[in-house]
Amino acid sequence: MTTLPDVVRSATDTVTHELTTETLLQLANREIAAIHVRGYYPVEVAAKIADKAIHHQELGHYHKQHTSSVGRVHMPHIDTKWDQELTNKYHEQALPAIEDVRSMFHPYVAPVDRIRLDLQELWPAGANLLRLRGRACFVGALRVFQPNTSEFWPHSDSIDWETDAPEIEGVLNQLVANIFLQTSDEGGDLQLWLREPTPQEKERILEVEGLEPDSIEKPALQIHPEAGDLILVSPRQLHAVTPAKDQHRVGASAFILTKGPQEPLLFWS
Protein backbone atom coordinates (compact mmCIF):
# COMPACT_ATOMS: atom_id res chain seq x y z
CA MET A 1 0.00 0.00 0.00
CA THR A 2 1.38 3.42 -0.97
CA THR A 3 1.73 5.91 1.90
CA LEU A 4 2.37 9.61 2.11
CA PRO A 5 5.99 10.71 2.39
CA ASP A 6 7.05 11.32 5.99
CA VAL A 7 7.43 15.03 5.34
CA VAL A 8 3.66 15.48 4.96
CA ARG A 9 2.34 12.84 7.32
CA SER A 10 1.47 15.40 10.02
CA ALA A 11 -0.59 18.41 9.03
CA THR A 12 -0.31 21.89 10.43
CA ASP A 13 -3.34 23.14 12.36
CA THR A 14 -4.29 25.53 9.55
CA VAL A 15 -7.99 25.59 8.62
CA THR A 16 -8.88 27.25 5.33
CA HIS A 17 -12.37 28.51 4.51
CA GLU A 18 -12.27 28.24 0.72
CA LEU A 19 -12.82 25.17 -1.45
CA THR A 20 -10.46 25.53 -4.41
CA THR A 21 -8.10 23.34 -6.41
CA GLU A 22 -5.22 24.69 -4.34
CA THR A 23 -6.82 23.97 -0.96
CA LEU A 24 -7.90 20.49 -2.08
CA LEU A 25 -4.35 19.64 -3.10
CA GLN A 26 -3.04 21.06 0.18
CA LEU A 27 -5.49 18.95 2.19
CA ALA A 28 -4.68 15.80 0.20
CA ASN A 29 -0.98 16.40 0.93
CA ARG A 30 -1.74 17.21 4.61
CA GLU A 31 -0.28 20.66 4.27
CA ILE A 32 -3.42 21.99 6.00
CA ALA A 33 -5.65 20.40 8.63
CA ALA A 34 -9.12 21.07 7.24
CA ILE A 35 -11.31 22.94 4.79
CA HIS A 36 -14.31 24.50 6.56
CA VAL A 37 -16.78 26.34 4.32
CA ARG A 38 -19.55 28.16 6.18
CA GLY A 39 -22.99 28.22 4.56
CA TYR A 40 -22.14 25.68 1.89
CA TYR A 41 -25.68 24.25 1.81
CA PRO A 42 -28.99 26.14 2.32
CA VAL A 43 -30.01 25.90 5.98
CA GLU A 44 -33.75 25.98 5.23
CA VAL A 45 -33.45 22.93 2.96
CA ALA A 46 -31.14 21.15 5.38
CA ALA A 47 -33.58 21.51 8.28
CA LYS A 48 -36.38 19.78 6.39
CA ILE A 49 -34.22 16.80 5.47
CA ALA A 50 -32.70 16.42 8.94
CA ASP A 51 -36.10 15.43 10.30
CA LYS A 52 -36.56 12.93 7.45
CA ALA A 53 -33.21 11.33 8.28
CA ILE A 54 -34.05 11.04 11.99
CA HIS A 55 -37.25 9.11 11.13
CA HIS A 56 -36.06 7.24 8.01
CA GLN A 57 -37.13 3.60 7.75
CA GLU A 58 -33.58 2.59 6.77
CA LEU A 59 -32.01 4.23 9.83
CA GLY A 60 -29.69 1.68 11.40
CA HIS A 61 -26.57 1.87 13.56
CA TYR A 62 -22.87 1.23 13.08
CA HIS A 63 -21.90 -2.25 14.23
CA LYS A 64 -18.86 -1.69 16.45
CA GLN A 65 -18.97 -1.08 20.19
CA HIS A 66 -18.01 2.59 20.27
CA THR A 67 -19.95 3.64 17.18
CA SER A 68 -23.20 1.79 17.85
CA SER A 69 -24.88 4.87 19.37
CA VAL A 70 -24.65 6.69 16.02
CA GLY A 71 -27.37 6.13 13.43
CA ARG A 72 -26.87 6.02 9.66
CA VAL A 73 -29.33 5.91 6.78
CA HIS A 74 -28.40 2.97 4.51
CA MET A 75 -25.51 0.60 4.97
CA PRO A 76 -21.96 2.01 4.80
CA HIS A 77 -19.04 -0.04 3.51
CA ILE A 78 -17.44 -0.34 6.95
CA ASP A 79 -20.38 -2.51 8.04
CA THR A 80 -19.62 -5.17 5.41
CA LYS A 81 -17.12 -6.51 8.01
CA TRP A 82 -15.15 -8.53 5.39
CA ASP A 83 -18.24 -10.74 5.05
CA GLN A 84 -19.10 -11.81 1.49
CA GLU A 85 -22.85 -11.87 2.06
CA LEU A 86 -22.85 -8.38 3.58
CA THR A 87 -20.52 -7.15 0.83
CA ASN A 88 -22.90 -8.42 -1.84
CA LYS A 89 -25.81 -6.75 -0.04
CA TYR A 90 -23.91 -3.46 0.13
CA HIS A 91 -23.17 -3.38 -3.59
CA GLU A 92 -26.65 -4.57 -4.60
CA GLN A 93 -28.22 -1.76 -2.58
CA ALA A 94 -25.68 0.93 -3.53
CA LEU A 95 -27.38 2.59 -6.50
CA PRO A 96 -30.95 2.30 -5.07
CA ALA A 97 -29.63 3.82 -1.82
CA ILE A 98 -28.02 6.73 -3.69
CA GLU A 99 -31.31 7.37 -5.46
CA ASP A 100 -33.30 7.14 -2.22
CA VAL A 101 -31.12 9.73 -0.46
CA ARG A 102 -31.21 11.94 -3.55
CA SER A 103 -35.02 11.74 -3.62
CA MET A 104 -35.18 13.01 -0.01
CA PHE A 105 -33.80 16.36 -1.19
CA HIS A 106 -35.87 16.66 -4.38
CA PRO A 107 -36.36 19.19 -6.00
CA TYR A 108 -33.08 20.47 -4.54
CA VAL A 109 -29.63 19.02 -5.23
CA ALA A 110 -28.52 16.67 -2.46
CA PRO A 111 -25.48 17.97 -0.52
CA VAL A 112 -23.26 15.00 -1.42
CA ASP A 113 -24.21 15.40 -5.08
CA ARG A 114 -23.09 19.02 -4.85
CA ILE A 115 -19.71 18.16 -3.33
CA ARG A 116 -19.25 15.42 -5.90
CA LEU A 117 -19.81 17.93 -8.71
CA ASP A 118 -17.58 20.56 -7.11
CA LEU A 119 -14.70 18.13 -6.67
CA GLN A 120 -15.15 16.72 -10.15
CA GLU A 121 -14.59 20.23 -11.47
CA LEU A 122 -11.85 21.33 -9.03
CA TRP A 123 -9.62 18.23 -8.85
CA PRO A 124 -7.07 18.18 -11.72
CA ALA A 125 -8.10 14.68 -12.92
CA GLY A 126 -11.81 14.92 -12.02
CA ALA A 127 -13.75 12.58 -9.73
CA ASN A 128 -15.81 9.40 -10.04
CA LEU A 129 -17.87 6.96 -8.00
CA LEU A 130 -15.70 4.24 -6.45
CA ARG A 131 -16.22 0.71 -7.73
CA LEU A 132 -14.77 -2.26 -5.89
CA ARG A 133 -14.16 -5.35 -8.00
CA GLY A 134 -16.18 -3.56 -10.65
CA ARG A 135 -19.25 -3.06 -8.43
CA ALA A 136 -20.67 0.39 -7.63
CA CYS A 137 -20.37 1.74 -4.08
CA PHE A 138 -22.96 3.67 -2.12
CA VAL A 139 -22.20 7.33 -1.41
CA GLY A 140 -24.22 9.89 0.50
CA ALA A 141 -24.70 8.39 3.97
CA LEU A 142 -26.82 10.46 6.36
CA ARG A 143 -25.52 10.18 9.92
CA VAL A 144 -27.70 10.82 12.97
CA PHE A 145 -26.23 11.53 16.41
CA GLN A 146 -28.77 11.29 19.23
CA PRO A 147 -28.88 14.29 21.61
CA ASN A 148 -26.48 14.11 24.57
CA THR A 149 -25.51 10.45 24.05
CA SER A 150 -24.14 9.71 20.56
CA GLU A 151 -20.45 10.29 20.03
CA PHE A 152 -17.45 9.00 18.11
CA TRP A 153 -14.44 8.18 20.28
CA PRO A 154 -11.00 8.92 18.81
CA HIS A 155 -10.57 6.69 15.76
CA SER A 156 -9.41 6.69 12.15
CA ASP A 157 -10.87 5.44 8.88
CA SER A 158 -8.95 3.73 6.10
CA ILE A 159 -10.43 1.88 3.12
CA ASP A 160 -7.64 -0.71 3.15
CA TRP A 161 -8.84 -1.79 6.62
CA GLU A 162 -12.13 -2.79 4.96
CA THR A 163 -11.24 -4.32 1.58
CA ASP A 164 -8.38 -5.65 -0.52
CA ALA A 165 -10.11 -4.88 -3.82
CA PRO A 166 -7.62 -4.01 -6.58
CA GLU A 167 -9.20 -0.59 -7.18
CA ILE A 168 -7.66 0.80 -3.97
CA GLU A 169 -4.10 0.03 -5.06
CA GLY A 170 -1.97 3.17 -5.06
CA VAL A 171 -4.05 5.15 -2.56
CA LEU A 172 -2.13 8.10 -1.10
CA ASN A 173 -4.71 9.55 1.24
CA GLN A 174 -8.36 9.41 2.22
CA LEU A 175 -10.54 12.47 2.76
CA VAL A 176 -14.05 12.81 4.12
CA ALA A 177 -16.59 15.49 3.31
CA ASN A 178 -19.29 16.25 5.88
CA ILE A 179 -22.17 18.61 5.12
CA PHE A 180 -24.16 19.43 8.25
CA LEU A 181 -27.95 19.51 8.09
CA GLN A 182 -28.63 20.13 11.78
CA THR A 183 -26.35 20.88 14.73
CA SER A 184 -26.65 21.98 18.33
CA ASP A 185 -25.41 25.25 19.80
CA GLU A 186 -23.22 23.30 22.20
CA GLY A 187 -21.32 20.07 21.55
CA GLY A 188 -21.18 17.98 18.41
CA ASP A 189 -17.64 19.22 17.86
CA LEU A 190 -15.15 17.62 15.49
CA GLN A 191 -11.86 16.91 17.26
CA LEU A 192 -8.66 16.36 15.26
CA TRP A 193 -5.33 14.93 16.45
CA LEU A 194 -3.43 15.54 13.19
CA ARG A 195 -1.61 12.21 13.42
CA GLU A 196 -2.26 8.63 12.42
CA PRO A 197 -2.78 5.99 15.11
CA THR A 198 0.13 3.93 16.39
CA PRO A 199 0.11 0.19 15.54
CA GLN A 200 -1.26 -0.53 19.02
CA GLU A 201 -3.98 2.10 18.63
CA LYS A 202 -4.88 0.69 15.22
CA GLU A 203 -5.48 -2.75 16.74
CA ARG A 204 -7.84 -1.23 19.31
CA ILE A 205 -9.70 0.80 16.68
CA LEU A 206 -10.18 -2.25 14.48
CA GLU A 207 -11.61 -4.12 17.45
CA VAL A 208 -14.07 -1.58 18.89
CA GLU A 209 -13.78 1.52 16.62
CA GLY A 210 -12.51 3.90 19.24
CA LEU A 211 -9.83 4.75 21.78
CA GLU A 212 -10.57 5.69 25.39
CA PRO A 213 -10.41 9.52 25.29
CA ASP A 214 -8.30 9.55 28.46
CA SER A 215 -5.76 7.16 26.91
CA ILE A 216 -4.37 9.71 24.45
CA GLU A 217 -3.33 13.34 24.42
CA LYS A 218 -5.77 16.21 23.99
CA PRO A 219 -6.81 16.94 20.37
CA ALA A 220 -4.74 19.44 18.44
CA LEU A 221 -7.80 21.11 16.94
CA GLN A 222 -11.53 21.32 17.65
CA ILE A 223 -14.12 22.64 15.17
CA HIS A 224 -17.75 23.43 15.93
CA PRO A 225 -19.92 23.02 12.81
CA GLU A 226 -23.13 24.88 12.12
CA ALA A 227 -26.03 23.80 9.93
CA GLY A 228 -25.15 24.26 6.26
CA ASP A 229 -21.39 23.98 6.82
CA LEU A 230 -19.00 21.80 4.82
CA ILE A 231 -15.93 20.33 6.52
CA LEU A 232 -13.27 18.30 4.70
CA VAL A 233 -10.51 16.49 6.63
CA SER A 234 -8.33 13.39 6.35
CA PRO A 235 -10.00 10.65 8.45
CA ARG A 236 -6.92 8.45 8.29
CA GLN A 237 -5.73 10.68 11.10
CA LEU A 238 -7.30 10.35 14.55
CA HIS A 239 -10.59 12.22 14.95
CA ALA A 240 -13.62 12.19 17.24
CA VAL A 241 -17.08 13.77 17.64
CA THR A 242 -18.35 14.99 21.01
CA PRO A 243 -22.00 14.58 22.10
CA ALA A 244 -24.37 17.28 20.81
CA LYS A 245 -26.33 18.91 23.62
CA ASP A 246 -30.14 18.71 23.53
CA GLN A 247 -30.51 18.33 19.75
CA HIS A 248 -29.81 15.78 17.04
CA ARG A 249 -26.64 16.30 15.01
CA VAL A 250 -27.38 15.26 11.42
CA GLY A 251 -25.02 15.33 8.46
CA ALA A 252 -24.42 13.96 4.99
CA SER A 253 -21.01 12.44 4.32
CA ALA A 254 -18.79 10.98 1.64
CA PHE A 255 -15.35 9.39 1.79
CA ILE A 256 -12.93 10.42 -0.94
CA LEU A 257 -9.95 8.38 -2.12
CA THR A 258 -6.97 10.14 -3.65
CA LYS A 259 -4.11 8.61 -5.62
CA GLY A 260 -2.55 11.94 -6.50
CA PRO A 261 -3.59 14.82 -8.80
CA GLN A 262 -2.99 12.74 -11.93
CA GLU A 263 -5.75 10.25 -10.94
CA PRO A 264 -9.49 10.97 -10.40
CA LEU A 265 -10.84 11.22 -6.85
CA LEU A 266 -13.12 8.31 -5.92
CA PHE A 267 -16.27 8.64 -3.76
CA TRP A 268 -18.03 6.17 -1.45
CA SER A 269 -19.73 5.87 1.95
Instruction: Identify which has the larger pLDDT, 151 or 117.
Output: 117
What is d(CA 135, CA 99) in angstroms, rounded to the nearest whole number?
16
Assign 65 a pLDDT band (cuts: 50, 70, 90).
low
What is d(CA 37, CA 229) in angstroms, rounded to the nearest whole number?
6
What are the residues whose beta carbons fall under 8 Å from the beta carbon of 42, sequence distance 6 or more? 108, 228
pLDDT digits (tens, 9 = 90+) for 168-214: 999 999 999 999 999 999 999 999 999 999 999 999 998 887 899 99
Helix (H) or strand (E) holding 101, with range, is helix 84-105
What is d(CA 137, CA 10) in angstroms, rounded to the nearest whole number?
29
pLDDT for 181 equals 98
SS3 call for 18: coil
Judge whether residue 49 has pLDDT over 80. Answer: yes
